[in-house]
Structure 1
Amino acid sequence: MRTLKLQVQITVDGFIAGPEGEQDWMTWNWDEELQKFVDEITAPVDCIVLGRKLAEGFIPYWTEVAQDPDNPEQESGKKFTETQKIVFSDTLEKSKWGNTELAQGDLVDEITRLKTQDGGDITAYGGATFVANLIEHRLIDDYYLFVNPVALGGGLPIFNNLNEYQHLNLVQSRAFGCGIVLLHYEPE
């Protein structure tokens, strides 16, 4: 069975975006150690799942990065562009992006189908509502929370749909020189 990883930047007060979806608070001056770590956890990934709202910025951004030989993130852009993407949407009727399929069925059924297929790891990047639904339905196998050194006081949470406690086991914690702290959890 394939593993579904959540890889997300988050604030110390638990938000993945500001109240209007702002992400200008994120630490982007990653040190070499953090970049190497992220490259290692994304290497076995051969499928990315996204909500429609995040996909509309994520896919075009990384496609452009992949085509820019002067961009230091070009290799990451190539990885994201070449990796199969599944966009969950109730509003789109067909994909407008390359190497991307739409999933419009039941979230649990679609993710279960993907997890039972042959292949490498699956990574979920967001957005907030999509990720909150994955968490609510206990579909995440590995949580990679990259805690940024900032508190917003309000914004878009991902742990807001819980009807009961979800206990997590800490697998790893690691502080990086740029101020980001990784918290890697697995469901109990």
Structure 2
Amino acid sequence: MRKLSYGIGVSLDGYINDRDGRIDWTDPDEELHQFHNDRFREIEISLHGRKLYELMAEYWPHIPEDASPIEREFSELWTGKPKVVFSRTLADVDWNSTLVRENAVEVVRELKAEGDGVMEVGGAGLAASLLPHGLIDEYLLFVSPVLVGGGTPLFPAFDKRVPLELVETRQFATALMLRYRAGNSSASAMR
């Protein structure tokens, strides 16, 4: 069965964007950007919510000429990687993407059962819809040293505790990475 990883940048006070929707404080340093490239290369399928897809599609296929080699590499990785975009409002998607309009939970269950590699979920809204069903196997948080004072919280409110196991930490110049694994007890606790 495929593993589903949820990786996201977060402020020290627990927000994924500020009150104005900005995420500029999550810009990675060169080492962290290369880490993301290497990680993304290993992912079989990337799952996107509408907002994240629109943000990524606006930038990565059209990076500026003066982009760094690391950014150019990620552009190629992102445009070529198979993506499933979950949206009820988008008319179409590009860049090796498939549009799914309904039943995100069932589609993700099917995708997990179809292989044994790694998928990632991107987008807080999509991840929030999968969390209560115990579908996320790994949480990869990139904690930036900033307090933004409000915005979109990292996690929505939910009914049950989700015990996690800290399996790795890594310090980058712009963020602290915390990797948590959802054990058998946490995945089944949410079902």
Q: TM-score range by the shorter chain?
A: 0.7 to 0.9
Per the TM alignment, residue 90 of structure 1 is displaced from its structure 2 partner at its CA by 1.7
What CA distance in whole angstroms lies between the structure 1 residues aligned with 2:132 and 2:13? Answer: 19
Residue from 39, 42, 45 that aligns with 2:40: 42
Q: Is the Cα contact below 8 Å between 2:4 and 2:112 reproduced in 1?
A: yes
1:32-71 aligned at under 5 Å gives the runs 32=31, 34-65=32-63, 70-71=66-67
Deviation at residue 69 of structure 1 after TM alignment: 5.5
Q: Output aligned runs, 1:23-172, within 5 Å.
A: 23-28=23-28, 30-32=29-31, 34-65=32-63, 70-72=66-68, 73-92=71-90, 94-118=91-115, 120-126=117-123, 128-172=124-168
Structure 1 unaligned runs (5+)? none
Q: Name the CA shift for 1:91/1:179 in 2 (closer, same or farther; >3 Å).
A: closer
Q: Partner amino acid for 2:180?
A: Y
Determine if contact 1:147/1:180 at 8 Å carries over to the other structure: yes
Q: Write the distance in 1 (CA, Å) between the matches of 2:85 and 2:33.
A: 25
Give runs of ≥4 in structure 1 deviating > 3 Å. Answer: none
| One-letter amino acid of the counterpart of residue 98, structure 2 | E
Residue 25 of structure 2 aligns to a residue in which SS?
Answer: coil
- Matching residue's letter, 1:40: D
TM (norm. structure 2) is 0.86
- Is the aligned partner of 1:186 residue 2:184? no
State the AA in 2 paired with 1:123.
E
Structure 2 unaligned blocks of 5 or more: 184-191
Aligned partners of 1:52 and 1:36: how far apart in 2?
Answer: 25
Q: For residues 119 and 98 of structure 1, do their structure 2 counterparts lie closer, same or farther at Cα, with a shift above 3 Å needed?
A: farther
TM-score, structure 1 normalization: 0.88
**Alpha-carbon contact 1:132-1:161 (below 8 Å) kept:** no
Q: How many residues align?
A: 181
Confirm whether residue 175 of structure 1 aligns to residue 171 of structure 2. yes
In the other structure, the counterpart of 2:17 is 17
Change (3 A) 1:110 1:36: same
Identity %: 34
- Residues 135 and 159 in structure 1, CA contact (< 8 A), matched pair in contact too: no
Contact 1:129 1:158 in 2 (8 A): no
**Other structure's SS at 2:44 match:** strand
Q: What code does the residue aligned with 2:96 have?
A: N
Say which structure is richer in helix: 2
| Cα 1:83/1:119, change in 2 over 3 Å | farther
Instruction: Write the distance in 2 (CA, Å) between the matches of 1:69 and 1:36.
Output: 19
What is the root-mean-square deviation of aligned Cα atoms in Å? 1.8
Q: Distance in 2 between matches of 1:138 and 1:119?
A: 17
